[in-house]
Structure 1
Amino acid sequence: MLTALALLLSAAVMAQGRSSKEVVDKIIGVVGDRIILYSDIQNAIKDAARYGEKLPPNANCMIFEQALLSKILALQAERDSIPLTDEEVEAQMDVKVRNLIMQYGSQAEVETLAGKTIYQLKDDQRPLIRENMLAEAMRKKVVSGVHITPTEVKAFFEKVPVDSLPFLESELEVGQISILPSASKDVDEYIYNEMLNYKKQIESGTTTFEALAKRVSEDPGSRERGGSYEINRSDKSTWDPVFLSTAFRLKAGEISQPVKSNRFGYFLIQQVSRRGDNAQIKMILRVPPVTDNELKEAHGRLDSVRAEIESNKISFKDAAYKYSDDENVKNYGPYVLDRDGSTYVNIDALDRDMVNTIKDMKVGDLSQPVNFTNDQGKKGVRLVYLKSRSEPHRLNLNDDYVKIADMALNQKRNEELDKWLEKKIPTFYILIDKQQADSCPSLSKYQTTENRGF
């Protein structure tokens, strides 16, 4: 249930800029001191459809119930003092924002569709993300003691009518170990001097910051806006600390010296205005290009890593943690993930370079080092590991035992969660709009006030 809710909440990021225009809003549910809006449900339905989710006829009832459940779990998590740091919330929010940017093609497109900057979207969604994470932590606590046996898995599968068994597309598990080499000292110095020249041109009035950003900046998210961004001092997961400290040290209208970021490249920053921990800035990004020499050196390093893996001196996973330059490996592992966080993905989840790499590989193969370009436009070299690949087939116990076991375990956990809810619902103040309660009989069990709605 909460997996579906997480997807809908992620999709709801795009709905925030539209809700006031699309619906006449009103409160339709209350749990403790938290409210559920009519627009929350309607926009979640519309965005779920955009994500290709197959929704039942009573989708509004299902999503409303999920929203109630999320708030109950989150409030109980606060009662139980389940820990959740601001850093964890920010990290989860960054993942969702990156997914949106990947879906819509660029940060600029996301901001245009939403009618807000990424930072405004984050501010809107921060309480919702926190609630969702608390709810998930509480759910895990409730079902932590639930386990499944092979006998239960078999019994679960045999209860599913044969004509209801889904047909599964081909899925893959693909991992990578990537190296993103730095540019040579000479190239690095050349880009630095270029940035100094940009600064002189702007300060002399030869050109404007906006015109130069549109012409030379390599940041696709801001180039068409003349380098414009809104930033927050605490957003250290998106920006390097040196970038933030430089941006907030500037005075209005002042232009920085070139600022180097190992993750991105060189920045030229101009502060437009500042209010507390928020600032409006303009920036130009230049990425020092790597040459064939740096890529050749990275090939050599990965040849050595490949030899270690092939000789069983180290596992692929451990090698990824040890050698990969991909920052996501530390938090999410070396395998490509789908929206649910599963390592089983369809081929359309892979970038074009990776599709070309695996097309002739067999399961268990580890590629030779190959060149690629990442989402930020940086050139690198990587090893690609094809862990598994399934053929299209009907769900069955032999090929899909792990999937079926997960399904059976989830059902058992949901039953345990239902028992917990039956005990906990009476301890919360819950009020549901009468029209919603009448149209969704399944919501009646949540109502704890004397009159059945408002």
Structure 2
Amino acid sequence: MKKILFALGATVLMATGAFAQAKKIVADKIIGVVGDRIILQSDVQNAIADASRQGQQVPENASCQILEQALISKVMMLQAEKDSLEVTEEDVEAELEMRVRSFIQQFGTQQALEEVAGKTVFQIKEDARASVKERKLAEAMQKKIMDGVKITPTEVRAYFDKIPKDSLPFYESEYELGQIVLYPKASRDMELYVIDELNNYKRQIAAKLTSFDQLARRNSEDPGSKERGGQYQINRNEKTWDPAFLNGAFRLKDGEISPVIKSKFGYHIIQMIQRNGDEAIVAHILRIPPVTDIEIAGSTAKLDSIRNLLVKGEVAFPVAAGKFTEDETAKFSGPFITGGRTGSSFVTIDELDKDIVTELEKLKVGDYSQPQTFTDPRGKKGVRLLYLRARTEPHRMNIKEDYDKISSLALEEKKYKTLETWLDKRIPAYYIMVDANAAGGTCPQLDKWLSRSTANR
């Protein structure tokens, strides 16, 4: 077993309860047993099919990996029960609810999810309940095993020294880049123009000249719902939705269309399609009042004044960003752009949009860019100022420049070895059965399990 990817593998397997189709495999069989817990061939096959349906890359030996992860999960879950590690029903229900909401957001509505899954939301939850509890118990056991694992500078150096010099990775330049973002406000005339358009849509629907669905598909500026006729499944208690949008939606009766509502995204009309307590299916049409060159020039002038303060050293960048930026992500992650792959404040060129890259070529470390206009992923026009705090040169991995990266890698390896050692000690304590041909191919990572399997004795 070259690497244990417990969390990923278990998550993939445990997802089978949601998307396994109504058309099941006719001939099923038990391909693994740990203690009194079984693994079915359909579990592995459905996990692979579900991963493919969700657009995940499925490796050639996926069945081997998933079966291995299922075996690991069973051992850790059984040990968690022996050690009396607690997972409450509330924890399980919260996880199921979060998972279902994630699927609903992916497919747009509860109805669409149920059509894809071939079962109701209640059935999806019940089918996945036992496996979610197993996963959470296994995670609790993994946390108990790994929480105390630390790494010393000597171990970091030893890990680095073991890497063959011709195998050391080459790192491109990385940038620590901050930004202050302003979004120009549309003029009142433009806001009134958009409000009038939305009211006109309502009149057309009332006169039966067209439908809400048709207008949403033609005119809504929400790319996430436009192709579905503006439909979303929403929950009154979900904090991810704009409060004004939620409040406006839950005042409506089935079939009713709201007056024009203003949110942080723009202006909407909302139609209540179906409501059930705190859950509802709604459709909306979003219009964003366009900003003109006049408003953009005003935000540019404000950013230029902020830049002058920064250049003169009269205010520190984090202070200025905290006071002026209108970038929502800065509230949670700060004003520095973070890498999507690592979450680090150092990012590579390919993690930045092309307009930032163009501006970056003009900056030296410590420089502030001139204000530049841009359009965000929601189609909203803004103006931003960039600050290049640091830049690394292209280089081969070395202990001086990449200590943090090497330390993280060394710690992960130590955690992996700790987990492997733990498994080696625990596996003999359990009844193990593995079908040698279960994965349909050569699976060297199953060798240690096969050697313990009663099927081979």
- TM norm structure 1: 0.73
- Considering only CA atoms, is the larger Rg found in Structure 1 or Structure 2? 2
Query: Aligned-residue CA RMSD in angstroms?
Result: 5.1
Match of 1:257 in 2: 259
The superposition leaves residues 129-162 of structure 1 with CA deviations (integer Å, 9 ceiling, x where unpaired) of: 9987887676555434433333322221121223
Q: How far 1:377 moved relative to its partner?
A: 1.0
Q: How far 1:397 moved relative to its partner?
A: 2.9
- In 2, are the aligned partners of 1:28 and 1:38 still within 8 Å (CA)? no
Q: How far 1:169 moved relative to its partner?
A: 4.2
- In 2, are the aligned partners of 1:367 and 1:383 still within 8 Å (CA)? yes
The superposition leaves residues 385-419 of structure 1 with CA deviations (integer Å, 9 ceiling, x where unpaired) of: 33444455443334433222221121122223334
- In 2, are the aligned partners of 1:19 and 1:39 still within 8 Å (CA)? no
2:195 pairs with one of 192, 197, 221: 192
Where 2:179 maps in the other structure, the secondary structure is strand
- In 1, are the aligned partners of 2:235 and 2:279 still within 8 Å (CA)? yes
Letter matched to residue 224 of structure 1: E
Residues in 1 aligned to 2:311 and 2:180: alpha-carbon distance in whole angstroms: 14
Structure 1 residues 280, 59: closer, same or farther in 2, change over 3 A?
A: closer
1:18-417 aligned within 5 A: 37-39=43-45, 41-43=47-49, 58-66=61-69, 68-69=71-72, 76=80, 80-81=85-86, 139=142, 142-237=145-240, 239-262=241-264, 264-307=265-308, 309-310=310-311, 315-317=316-318, 319-333=320-334, 334-417=336-419
Letter matched to residue 181 of structure 2: S
Where 1:192 maps in the other structure, the secondary structure is helix
Residues in 1 aligned to 2:180 and 2:338: alpha-carbon distance in whole angstroms: 11
Letter matched to residue 220 of structure 2: S
The superposition leaves residues 74-131 of structure 1 with CA deviations (integer Å, 9 ceiling, x where unpaired) of: 884995458998999799979989xx98xxxx989xx89x958xx98xx889979998
Residues in 1 aligned to 2:270 and 2:164: alpha-carbon distance in whole angstroms: 62
Residues in 1 aligned to 2:208 and 2:238: alpha-carbon distance in whole angstroms: 32
Residues in 1 aligned to 2:194 and 2:446: alpha-carbon distance in whole angstroms: 61
- In 2, are the aligned partners of 1:89 and 1:126 still within 8 Å (CA)? no
- In 2, are the aligned partners of 1:372 and 1:379 still within 8 Å (CA)? yes
Q: How far 1:71 moved relative to its partner?
A: 6.9
Structure 1 residues 298, 445: closer, same or farther in 2, change over 3 A?
A: farther
Residues in 2 aligned to 1:234 and 1:172: alpha-carbon distance in whole angstroms: 39
Structure 1 residues 378, 325: closer, same or farther in 2, change over 3 A?
A: same
Letter matched to residue 369 of structure 1: P
The superposition leaves residues 293-321 of structure 1 with CA deviations (integer Å, 9 ceiling, x where unpaired) of: 33333334434544554455665445444
Residues in 2 aligned to 1:365 and 1:351: alpha-carbon distance in whole angstroms: 19
Q: How far 1:236 moved relative to its partner?
A: 3.1
User: Percent same amino acid at aligned positions?
Assistant: 42
Residues in 1 aligned to 2:16 and 2:198: alpha-carbon distance in whole angstroms: 35
- In 1, are the aligned partners of 2:73 and 2:138 still within 8 Å (CA)? yes
Question: Runs of 5+ in structure 2 lacking a partner?
Answer: none
Question: Runs of 5+ in structure 1 lacking a partner?
Answer: none
Structure 1 residues 10, 433: closer, same or farther in 2, change over 3 A?
A: closer
Residues in 2 aligned to 1:430 and 1:330: alpha-carbon distance in whole angstroms: 50
The superposition leaves residues 31-73 of structure 1 with CA deviations (integer Å, 9 ceiling, x where unpaired) of: 888978213552477589955x9x5x65543344345556766
Letter matched to residue 175 of structure 1: G
Letter matched to residue 366 of structure 1: Y
Residues in 2 aligned to 1:15 and 1:191: alpha-carbon distance in whole angstroms: 45
Structure 1 residues 44, 282: closer, same or farther in 2, change over 3 A?
A: closer
Letter matched to residue 221 of structure 1: G
Structure 1 residues 90, 22: closer, same or farther in 2, change over 3 A?
A: closer
Where 2:250 maps in the other structure, the secondary structure is helix
Letter matched to residue 257 of structure 1: P
- TM norm structure 2: 0.73
Where 2:297 maps in the other structure, the secondary structure is helix
Matched positions, count: 437
